[in-house]
Amino acid sequence: MDSRQRQPSSPDSWWKNGIVYQIYPRSFQDSDGDGIGDLRGIRQRLDYLVALGVDAVWISPIYPSPMADFGYDISDYCGIDPRFGTLADFDELVQGAHARGLKVILDFVPNHTSDRHPWFIESSSSRSDPKRDWYLWRDPAPGGGPPNNWLSNFGGPAWTLDPRTGQYYLHSFLREQPDLNWRNPAVRAAMYEALRFWLRRGVDGFRIDVLYHLVKDASFRDNPANPAFVPGGDPSHSLLPLYTADLPEVQEIVREMRGVVDAFSDARGDRVLIGELYLPLARLMAYYGLDSEGVLQGVQLPFNFQLIGAQWQADVIDRLVRDYEAALPPGAAPNWVLGNHDKPRIASRVGPERARLAAMLLLTLRGTPTLYYGDEIGMTDVDIPPDEVQDPFEKNEPGRGLGRDPQRTPMQWSTGPHAGFSHASPWLRLAGDWAALNVERQQSDATSMLALYRRLIALRRAEPALHAGAWEPLDAGADILAYARTVAQRRLVVLLNFADAQRGIDRALLGERADVLASTHERPEGKHAERLVLHPLEGVALAVHGAISMPS
């Protein structure tokens, strides 16, 4: 495919009209035989991504790290961990991606560093060290013990005592991940310079890890109990994060970050910020940064994770989409996420047939879709035996099923040794079905999940109504999620049957003629003048002519 044909309609809209593909680098492609994926491996697979049809590659952390949390504990923000390669490998990857019309987005982890970062080593050396205030240090509570009741997201208290200096330091995650003090201007300056380091190397944007955690209460008040907490659940949810997350001061930092990346916008387009924000809808909208003059100064794409946790029912998702669309600030770009490295895979959550329906939903809603590697071939979670667990979350809370290893297993490329991922035994075991479920087999199967994703992505790219058009909810009866996508005189209707039985569609939705553009099932393209009957769990996208508006 000619890369020139893959460019979005205008340089400043690539992140609005395009598709983001997340790569967990340890698990995508190993090039050097150590069982761990790397940058050269990603570069080897760029043509696959072009053929799939995505626009941008988001790469999870590749910075130098002791790997206590597999790269989310960073010891150098301006380097590459040797496990993944070198800065030269990174530069070649960016060049190769750009030559193919692909954008490159890096993970940025600003809330915390590794405890082996030089900043923390200096900060912990003494109470009088110049970098002491770069982290959050507090005296023990009266009578001893942690300064307050704050909890780590990975289990246990969020405070660890440093015997040498007699103070506790805060870590919202592992004790090996001390939180930075974002109230300190020197910290902000250093982190913004790290962003500039990668922007100068051609990076097209950043996904910002736990953005809403950056600022903590200045008075270090106790978090209140969570009245909705169910005993036996994730212990970190037993308290409401009133004083540890989503504080108003975060918005100033977001505006500053936006200013840093905006300064690098050029003929290749805007640089994009994507915020990881597990927040209620009303609070999520605040991160677009709408000011009193109607200007959006925040992250361009506050991640919308609602589909990940939603009940897989037509009426539930219909209400979810309507509420999200209604809440968006004027001019804000929506986005949708089906899966990521922290949550169970979509095919495991809803089953393989419903995962096909989910693919059509993701790729026909209004807004930027994000795909997680392997979902396009229907990969599922893999049971990891206790003696093979790698994830520190599971190790800290064993037996609770909180670990994320199951959705981080190696990409299944072929029927060759180790699924074509590596010449050596992979860092995590492969799924039991890898010999049957892989890219190689699905490429030649027109009914495969991969073929479906490619058809849907190609349709989305070809139809302005899908990648840039308006969205309108429709009523098609029980168990059917229906909506229209329109631009100018072009009107598309998407019908998703969530039922395990056939469902008929009224002619009023089909107008004078409805041409089938895509289906999750084996349905030939054709014209339907009367009624359309959807198969169980089938989704269809139709081009409708002379449509009759239905009440919504």
Burial class (CB in 10 A: 0-12, 13-18, 19+), 402: middle
Helix (H, G, I), strand (E, B) or coil at 105: strand
What are 128-143's pLDDT values in tens digits? 999 999 999 999 999 9
Helix (H) / strand (E) element for 474: namely strand 470-474
In 126-271, which residue ranges form alpha helices assigned H by DSSP? 185-200, 250-262
290 pairs with which residues across the strands?
296
Nearest to 345 by CA among 397, 391, 381: 381
- The amino acid sitting at 433 is D
- Distance between CA atoms of residues 374 and 137, nearest Å: 41
Q: At what angle do helices 185-200 and 250-262 cross, to 10 degrees?
A: 30
Q: How confident is the model at residue 399, as a pLDDT?
A: 67
CA 192 to chain centre: 22
- Distance between CA atoms of residues 402 and 348, nearest Å: 15
* Angle 150-155-158 from CA coordinates, rounded to 5°: 30
What are 358-411's pLDDT values in tens digits? 999 999 999 999 999 999 999 999 999 989 999 887 877 676 677 899 999 999
| Band of pLDDT at residue 525, cut at 50, 70 and 90 | low
- 535 to 116, 306, 474, 498, 532: CA distances (angstroms): 56, 26, 19, 10, 10
What are 43-88's pLDDT values in tens digits? 999 999 999 999 999 999 999 999 999 999 999 999 999 999 999 9
Exposure string of 140-152, with b = 16+ CB inside 10 Å and e = fewer, is eeeeeebbbbbbb
State yes or no: is 193 an active-site residue.
Answer: no
| 545 and 514 Cβ atoms separated by less than 8 Å | yes
What are 449-499's pLDDT values in tens digits? 999 999 999 999 999 999 999 999 999 999 999 999 999 999 999 999 999
State yes or no: is 276 an active-site residue.
Answer: yes
- Distance between CA atoms of residues 358 and 386, nearest Å: 31
Exposure string of 458-469, with b = 16+ CB inside 10 Å and e = fewer, is ebbbebbbbbbb
The structure tokens listed for 177 are: 């991940």
Q: How confident is the model at residue 431, as a pLDDT?
A: 96
Q: How confident is the model at residue 5, as a pLDDT?
A: 41
| Band of pLDDT at residue 511, cut at 50, 70 and 90 | confident
* Residues found in the chain: 552
> Residue 252: which residues within 8 A CB-CB, separation 6 or more?
none
In terms of DSSP bridges, do strands 159-162 and 167-170 run parallel, antiparallel, or are they unpaired? antiparallel
| Band of pLDDT at residue 234, cut at 50, 70 and 90 | confident
In terms of DSSP bridges, do strands 480-487 and 167-170 run parallel, antiparallel, or are they unpaired? unpaired
Q: Please state the rounded mean pLDDT for residues 303-321.
A: 96
Q: How confident is the model at residue 206, as a pLDDT?
A: 98
Q: Which strands form 103-108's sheet, in the order they lie side by side?
A: 301-302, 272-275, 205-208, 103-108, 56-59, 20-23, 368-372, 335-337
Kindly list the structural domains of the chain, giving each domain's residue range(s) and its CATH number in brackets, ordered by start: 3-113+185-460 (3.20.20.80), 118-170 (3.90.400.10), 469-545 (2.60.40.1180)
Q: Which of 107, 209, 376, 381 is catalytic?
A: 209
Q: What is the mean pLDDT of the chain?
A: 93
Residue 529 CB: number of other CB atoms within 10 A? 11
| Band of pLDDT at residue 528, cut at 50, 70 and 90 | low
Whole-prediction pTM value? 0.95
Q: Read off the DSSP letter of residue 208.
A: E
Q: Which of 89, 276, 318, 405 is catalytic?
A: 276
Q: Please state the rounded mean pLDDT for residues 510-517.
A: 89
What are 252-301's pLDDT values in tens digits? 999 999 999 999 988 777 899 999 999 999 999 999 999 999 999 999 99
Q: How confident is the model at residue 9, as a pLDDT?
A: 36
Q: How confident is the model at residue 132, as a pLDDT?
A: 98
